[in-house]
Amino acid sequence: MKNFNIFNPVKIIFGWGVIKESGKEAFYLGKKALIITGKNSAKKTGILEKLIKLLKENMVDSVVFSDITPNPKSDEVDEAAEIGIKEKCDFVIGLGGGSVMDAAKGAAIVLKSGGNLWDYVALPGKKAKQIDEVAPIMLIPTLAATGSEGNPAAVFTNSKTQQKTAIYNPLKLYPKVSIVDPSLTLTVPPKQTAEGIIDIIMHVLEEYLTGDTDCDLQDRISEGIILTCIENAQKVIQNPEDKKARTNISLASTVALHGLPNAGRAGAWVVHPIEHAISGIYDNIAHGSGIAAILPSYLRFLGKVKPEKVKQLSIRVFNADEYSDETELIEVCAKSFEDFIEMIGLKNNLKDSGIEKNFLGKIADKVVEVSGIPSIIKNKENLLKILNNAFESKY
């Protein structure tokens, strides 16, 4: 296990109905909020109206920008920030899924540090502009998935170049307060609920699979998060209004990327950069769907180059017989995820997700261009192998 520091300064207010705290908390952040939402859900569910009212009751004025699309584009964030500057907003509230919360982080950067959002994105051969100051941020997730509410990352797409990547800045990008009210997730449709669940699992799986192998506590926490997601996925699919299941999934989402589960591991993130290349090119593919299509193929690849944790997962999470041989244990893990992905209503391969075979090379090129080849994958040939094996489910 590597030495590590954890400094997570986000005040997290968690629980059923805690949205009522948002006005009081906002009072301490500023006088006028730039509220950022997606195009539809926050208005349709009535939560935007409720938030504005809670702010007013606490003498906080607000202006709304509601044009953020899933896989948020950097120019949408620039537009939001421009409105915030014009309206003299002194803090930002993101009310929505990960796309909206990330957009709120981006707008908070541009609001205070100026320029365009893409200036702050680093790429191989492109140095990012330094973030001087960031407006205070409050996040209110309406979908359990990214954990953006408790981490210092935000992911953006440049629609001109089809590059999708993250700004990660633990010194500047943590929200001040996050209001995590699972009741807001009751209206999330089955597909987005499932995409969120596989994303949460992947947030602990990336480093569990590839990082230092002696992280016993982190392993157990990660397995707990995965099992919580699997067990509650079944419940929420049977009954989307299951309050307990929605609450457990929301907590798993916030905790997965909150610090401790991945601390000390120094693992390689692999499925995420591949997925970001996919949804950077295919804007209609949601992050969770892209992950679901790649994960089984990745597990089979990893089973050949670093099998220890794939086997452990097979035994501890999927109850495989510990005396089975290695090939069998790896197959149990990959197949169990394939079945789980199908059970929650997602596609477990690229073809069924709508990806054309002749785009696999372009996806690999984008991974290299934006993130570089993950260390465990070693070379582009292996990357293409994972993509080709993910194209069709052969099992």
Binding stretches for ligand NZQ (CB under 6 A): 38-42, 45, 70-71, 96-100, 102, 142-143, 145-148, 151, 153-155, 184-185, 187-188, 192, 195-196, 199, 257, 272, 287-288
- Find the helix or strand (DSSP H, E) in which 93 lies: strand 91-96
Strand order in the sheet with 137-141: 11-14, 177-180, 137-141, 91-96, 32-38, 61-68
Distance CA(246)–CA(182), nearest Å, equals: 6
181-220 residues near Zn ion, rule: CB under 5 A? 199
Binding partner selected for residue 335 from Zn ion, ligand NZQ, none, CB under the kind-specific 5 to 8 Å limit: none
**CB of 156 vs ligand NZQ, minimal distance in Å:** 8
Binding partner selected for residue 39 from ligand NZQ, Zn ion, none, CB under the kind-specific 5 to 8 Å limit: ligand NZQ
- Beta carbon nearer to ligand NZQ, 153 or 177: 153
Binding partner selected for residue 221 from ligand NZQ, Zn ion, none, CB under the kind-specific 5 to 8 Å limit: none
**CB of 5 vs ligand NZQ, minimal distance in Å:** 19
- Beta carbon nearer to Zn ion, 131 or 200: 200
Binding partner selected for residue 169 from ligand NZQ, Zn ion, none, CB under the kind-specific 5 to 8 Å limit: none
Residue 177 Rama label (left phi>0; alpha psi -120 to 50; beta): beta
Distance CA(210)–CA(272), nearest Å, equals: 13
Q: Around Cβ 389, how many Cβ atoms within 10 Å? A: 19
Residue 91 forms beta bridges with which residues? 33
38-57 residues near Zn ion, rule: CB under 5 A? none
- Beta carbon nearer to ligand NZQ, 155 or 350: 155
The answer to whether 293 touches 353, Cβ cutoff 8 Å, is yes
DSSP 3-state of 238 = helix
Helix axis angle, 243-256 relative to 216-238, nearest 10°?
150
**CB of 22 vs Zn ion, minimal distance in Å:** 25
Count, residues near Zn ion per rule CB under 5 A: 1
**Binding residues for Zn ion, per CB under 5 A?**
199
